[in-house]
A = this chain, B = another copy of it.
Amino acid sequence: MECKIILMGFGSVGQGIANVIAMKKDIIKDNYDAELKLVAVADSSSSAICQEGLDEQLLIDTKKNKGKLSNYPEYGSDISGIDVLDAVEYDCLIECTPTNKETGEPAYSLTMKAFEARKDVVTSNKGHLALRFKDVIDAAEKNNVQFRYEATVGGAMPIINCAKDTLSSCKIESITGILNGTTNYILSRMTAEGSSYEDILKESQELGIAETDPTADVEGEDAACKTVILANSLLGVDATYTDVEVIGISNITSEAIELAKDAGYLIKLIGEVTPTTLKVSPRLVKKGSAYDVSGTLNMATIKTDLADEITVVGKGAGSIETASAMITDLISILKLKK
């Protein structure tokens, strides 16, 4: 069986997808009898399109050395955005364009168009799901296609599939966790070094851990999107972004962190999801507790009716790590077709 893939978005995660496909396509063919083929790869400005399949390494090299995918030898194209979905025949859309939590675009339109064409979709995009989760899920069901979004929450940390597939006998009662790696990194370093928020943020930006405009991370917006996705997908709550109460970490002082530390506590940005509460805020957590994970790690404690509390910890971001969650989603789809 062939699995023809359109990859939309070719930043860090998109390039991770190309890398992981190059690494794993042989083993996936052996184990799941599916031949992965990138038939189109696009970013916001151009694309490379070839029905016979593109070369993963050449895609990465083209983007790195020649800036635009349209410079891909022979198959470079000026087609971009949603038009790419009409330019080639495909089975699955892997969608990792940047999250926009005001409009949900381009993810929403891309996903809906793929669904209407009866194509499966794997996404890492939080925007459309934080705004219109139910619309998207309903459209997938209506068109009888697969839709998977593990990578939207916690990068490599398995939480959505973990709760759905490995805790399927249980009712999920609540989820509490550290859902943003950048803020966890900043708070961890403030705690370890006693430095100010501003100094550590600046260094994090230099290291590429925080973005030039850090608002989405430090003001809790990214974590808030994730709480909405968890609430909808695992607790069956019909919620949207504006339902989340959000307080970020930009007002946390080194003095506050010191005071907490002296009392055996840490300050962490915690996302909380219950049937009635959606909240992201800095909280005191006990040193040595499940919430005591540092650096860019994410964690989540899933409270269930039968299995009590299950905690998962893993890398919240990273090109290959996030791509691994998306390829796991793709494999789950391939298993259903086998």
Contacts and interface: CB of A to CB of B under 8 A. Distances in A.
**Copies of this chain, count:** 2
Nearest to A310: B314
A328 B20 contact: no
Contacts of A292: 288
Interface stretch (A80-88, A136-144, A162-170, A245-253): A162-170
A167 B310 contact: no
A66 interface: no
Interface stretch (A2-10, A50-58, A93-101, A150-158): A150-158
Contacts of A170: 324, 328
A261 interface: no
Nearest to A27: B171
Given A162-B162, A287-B288, A306-B323, A169 B24 contact: yes
A324 B169 contact: yes
B166 A162 contact: yes
A109 interface: no
A307 B312 CA distance: 13
A150 B310 CA distance: 14
A38 to B, nearest CB: 16
A311 to B, nearest CB: 4
B311 A312 contact: yes
Interface string A279-315: 0000000011010110000000000101111111111
Interface residues of A, number: 42
B331 A169 contact: yes
A332 interface: yes
Contacts of A290: 293, 313
B157 A310 contact: yes
A231 interface: no
Nearest to A301: B313
B331 A156 contact: no
Nearest to A324: B306
A308 B315 contact: yes
A311 B313 contact: yes
B169 A162 contact: no
A204 to B, nearest CB: 19
A314 B307 CA distance: 8
Contacts of A219: none
A190 interface: no
26 contacts: A156-B306, A156-B307, A156-B310, A158-B310, A165-B165, A165-B166, A167-B324, A167-B328, A168-B332, A169-B325, A169-B330, A170-B328, A287-B288, A290-B293, A306-B324, A306-B327, A307-B314, A307-B324, A307-B325, A308-B315, A308-B318, A309-B315, A310-B312, A310-B314, A311-B311, A311-B313
